[in-house]
Structure 1
Amino acid sequence: MTKPENPPSHPGGANAHTAVDRLTAILLVEDDDADATLVVRALRPYARRSTVTRVTSLREAQAWLHRNVGDVVLLDLSLPDSFGLETVSRLHADVPSLPLVVLTGFDDEDFALQILETGAQDYLVKGQTDGPLMWRAIQHAIARKRLEEELRLSEERLQGIIGMAQDAILTADEALTITLFNQAAERLFGYEAIDIVGRPLSLLIPEHLRAAHEASIAEFGAGPVQSRLMATRREVVGLTRDGREFPAEVSIAKLHHARGLLYTAVIRDVSERKRVETELRRMATTDPLTGLCNRRRFWELADVEIARLRRYGHPVSVLMLDIDRFKSINDQYGHAVGDQALVRLASVCRAELRDTDHIGRLGGEEFAVLLPETGLAAARDVAERLREQLAATDIPCLNGVLHMTVSIGIAVCGEDDMSIERVLSRADRALYVAKSHGRNRVEIFDETSASPSLAG
């Protein structure tokens, strides 16, 4: 056995070398004396840069490595207590961070690949190896193992970051088979990684959207763009394990490697944000008391209908409704009852109107109804029906029962009307004619409707 003058010790020990002058500690695991002598002789020119320690069995190698720090192992596969690839796998499992160079008398490329796949960094064929080749193999094995360890640590750090990420992260191969699924993805989609990895990405997409999604991915994969961020992509829809669909924002990137494309997606559930946006939009466009469109929203819807009228010539009519003597209602019964009257009017109108009709509260006790695809005669029928239903409505209150009536003015949109404002002005003039003629009635605008109105 050839032993170093100063056997390697654990870092920090009395014999520890500095990073600059530390010798390469080589552990030779070889039970054949002749083969061991050849190895030691081949490495003799590098004695100032290395130490060689020989053991003759796998058990001795494991024991030595537990007591000492080695840089590389030269490993024979035919030992008294271990044989073949099992020798590599057992030593690699015991010291996974240590580079292994296998010494074998079997010169076969397939066997060499099995050696490398089992955990070794290189192999040398006995009888075909000189000193420079062996030293180069040792240095390459050390460098390769160092790179492998750096890669492993980098992957562990990346996996740690992915695992701690609040957004769902998944990867899929070119066939759109899932290859990675982090904890946030488990929480979002309801699958455990062990159940979903290896399965198609389409499981996470609603069935009616799968074809379009796959076409979009294929277009992205074939294009020059390497990534698309959430801010630049439209929202997509995800599907959970229990069948719930949810809106999501997705950032996606692609990576070309030896086995084809690899896609990485970062997915964020935006259900809560969409809910808040919807609520804010509702608050911005809805009258808080009645739940009807507010003035701004009614104007928007009306402009759309007028644009459609100007393009296609389809009839559009407008009703203006006003609760009769609303100020007296507030004064006599109180503002709470007045509010009930407004809410009841909204409820009756919603029940009587079509889904395609639009009603809005323009302010106070004044309401407007937009009737698409409706001419003057049909609009009058709608107005009379609303008036009758509201006149038959009783609102209980502390002072008895409130009998509410409304006056309604009608105007028809013309192709020369550029906005709803002109139409509402005509309907408003008809409304005040209805009030001046006794209230609780319907009037249609004509050129004589400009007579002075009475107070409501």
Structure 2
Amino acid sequence: MTNPANPPPQPGSAAVNPAPDRLTAILLVEDDDADATLVVRALRPYARRSTVTRVTSMRDAQAWLHRNACDVVLLDLSLPDSFGLETVSHLHADVPSLPLVVLTGFDDEDFALQILETGAQDYLVKGQTDGPLMWRAIQHAIARKRLEEDLRLSEERLQGIIGLAQDAILTADDTLTITLFNQAAERLFGYEAIDIVGRPLALLIPEHLRAAHEANVAEFRAGPVQSRVMAARREVVGLTRDGREFPAEVSIAKMHHARGLLYTAVIRDVSERKRVETELRRMATTDPLTGLCNRRRFWELAEVEIARLRRYGRPVSVLMLDIDRFKSINDSYGHAVGDQALCRLASVCMEELRDTDHIGRLGGEEFAVILPETGLSAAREVAERLREQLAAADIPCPNGALRMTVSIGIAVCSEDDMTIERALSRADRALYVAKSQGRNRVEVYDEIGASASLAG
């Protein structure tokens, strides 16, 4: 029975923020029976928290969404009546507020970025996704869409405020003395108009930025431009009466009158938008489980270090880490303990590594580390320290504490390395040797030694 105090979303809408006591409604759009079975089987452990409805075509999906509420769609790109990225764009255009997670058979980073740019919140590669990863992707998509909707609604709200003249508005004369201060400005800066009118505009600007602000005003005063809208101005920083700094967007206009120039500024606090943008950026570059760099962000940082190596010739080393027998941890103790192991590895590495080092989760239990300004000897010391600390780290589990070990491969980057993949490939070969030699050990890539070990 429907609770009148908490009515369900209207048909065709996305319940982006489902109530804690409500099941997550999942629409699976998949025409392949085998793939659909795998998805349903993967989500079976979450049956008490979700419902899965399956349709087999784009037309059926659109019809179902127009009649029913849904929290997230798992969308195959190859349907009888829709194929490729158009599948995402069509459904996104039809129900723009609905989170989309794409199911694809292509494990390609460039294609994945196209999927996200077309309107999806996440993607999963068929055959490489287990239940916990799929469930996390679903929750991530819902959270990401919620933030996107927050940002969209925030922008609409701000535009409405401008239309109603509810942004902070102030005027100042040619000496930059405040002559008008509206109620919105009172709320924003914490001053009463009676206290601030007649005082210098500099009171609303942090002291360390006042000289630059006066120079910008002087340039604006001397130039031919009569106004600068918010889109044409870089961000400025405001200062409240209690000393709090906040990011702001400003529209400013100048006009001449009998007593000289008069400046009018419309000021908008964008702290909330910045928070949302920062969170979206964090979600796009961070592994949601461990908090480390995800593969995409790690690759970006790695290429910067490779470029620095080629330019300055400074040493750079890379490590490849892999938890030994990770599958047996999941099988014996459950995926929750496996996740604890991954998080423990991340926290230990962050404690032991320098601020200038970079660590990323490349996938599963595989991690990579970039060590700038680090030659082979120092890299070996770092790797051994990590191995020892990880072997001594406790992992909480239902029966007490669990210990894990890692195998580590090391490679030194060369100026001939055009991309980080070559160095990581060498480190990965050294990691393979460490695994084959008994695990819980560090191996250094060596052209002859690694080749001989692999051949043997």
Calculate the TM-score normalised by the size of structure 2.
0.63
What is the distance in 2 between the residues matched to 1:352 and 1:302? 19
Residue of structure 2 in register with 1:296 after alignment: 296
Residue of structure 1 in register with 2:247 after alignment: 247
Q: CA deviation at 1:394?
A: 2.2
8 A contact 1:319–1:368 mirrored in 2 = yes
Residue of structure 2 in register with 1:356 after alignment: 356
Opposite residue 315 of structure 1, the aligned amino acid is P
- The correspondence of residues 205-224 of structure 1 with structure 2, limited to 5 A, is 205-224=205-224
8 A contact 1:162–1:182 mirrored in 2 = no
8 A contact 1:163–1:184 mirrored in 2 = no
8 A contact 2:340–2:396 mirrored in 1 = no
8 A contact 1:204–1:238 mirrored in 2 = yes
Instruction: Call closer, same or farther: CA 1:172–1:324 in 2, change over 3 Å.
Output: same
Deviations 1:225-265 (Å, cap 9, x if unpaired)? 11111111110100000000000011111112221111111
Q: CA deviation at 1:446?
A: 1.4
Q: Secondary structure at the match of 2:447?
A: coil
Q: CA deviation at 1:417?
A: 1.2
Q: CA deviation at 1:453?
A: 6.6
Opposite residue 334 of structure 1, the aligned amino acid is G
Opposite residue 218 of structure 2, the aligned amino acid is A
What is the distance in 1 between the residues matched to 2:207 and 2:454? 61
Residue of structure 2 in register with 1:441 after alignment: 441
Gaps of 5+ in 1: 1-160
Residue of structure 1 in register with 2:420 after alignment: 420
Opposite residue 350 of structure 1, the aligned amino acid is M
- The correspondence of residues 12-411 of structure 1 with structure 2, limited to 5 A, is 165-411=165-411
Instruction: Call closer, same or farther: CA 1:162–1:388 in 2, change over 3 Å.
Output: closer
What is the distance in 1 between the residues matched to 2:265 and 2:383? 56
Opposite residue 262 of structure 2, the aligned amino acid is L
Deviations 1:352-378 (Å, cap 9, x if unpaired)? 011111111110000011111111111
Opposite residue 239 of structure 2, the aligned amino acid is L
Q: CA deviation at 1:166?
A: 2.1
Q: Secondary structure at the match of 2:250?
A: strand
8 A contact 1:323–1:406 mirrored in 2 = yes
* Count of residues in correspondence between the two structures: 294
Deviations 1:94-148 (Å, cap 9, x if unpaired)? xxxxxxxxxxxxxxxxxxxxxxxxxxxxxxxxxxxxxxxxxxxxxxxxxxxxxxx
Q: Secondary structure at the match of 1:297?
A: helix
Q: CA deviation at 1:396?
A: 3.2
Q: CA deviation at 1:162?
A: 9.3
Instruction: Call closer, same or farther: CA 1:450–1:184 in 2, change over 3 Å.
Output: farther
8 A contact 1:189–1:204 mirrored in 2 = yes
Computing the radius of gyration over CA atoms, which structure comes out larger, 1 or 2? 1
Gaps of 5+ in 2: 1-160
Mean Cα deviation higher: 243-252 or 253-262:
253-262
Calculate the TM-score normalised by the size of structure 1.
0.63
8 A contact 1:408–1:443 mirrored in 2 = yes
Instruction: Call closer, same or farther: CA 1:170–1:392 in 2, change over 3 Å.
Output: same
Opposite residue 261 of structure 1, the aligned amino acid is L
What is the distance in 1 between the residues matched to 2:344 and 2:320? 17
Q: CA deviation at 1:311?
A: 1.1
Q: Secondary structure at the match of 1:289?
A: coil
Mean Cα deviation higher: 399-408 or 200-209:
399-408
Deviations 1:140-168 (Å, cap 9, x if unpaired)? xxxxxxxxxxxxxxxxxxxxx99952211
Percent of residue pairs identical: 88
Mean Cα deviation higher: 349-358 or 306-315:
306-315
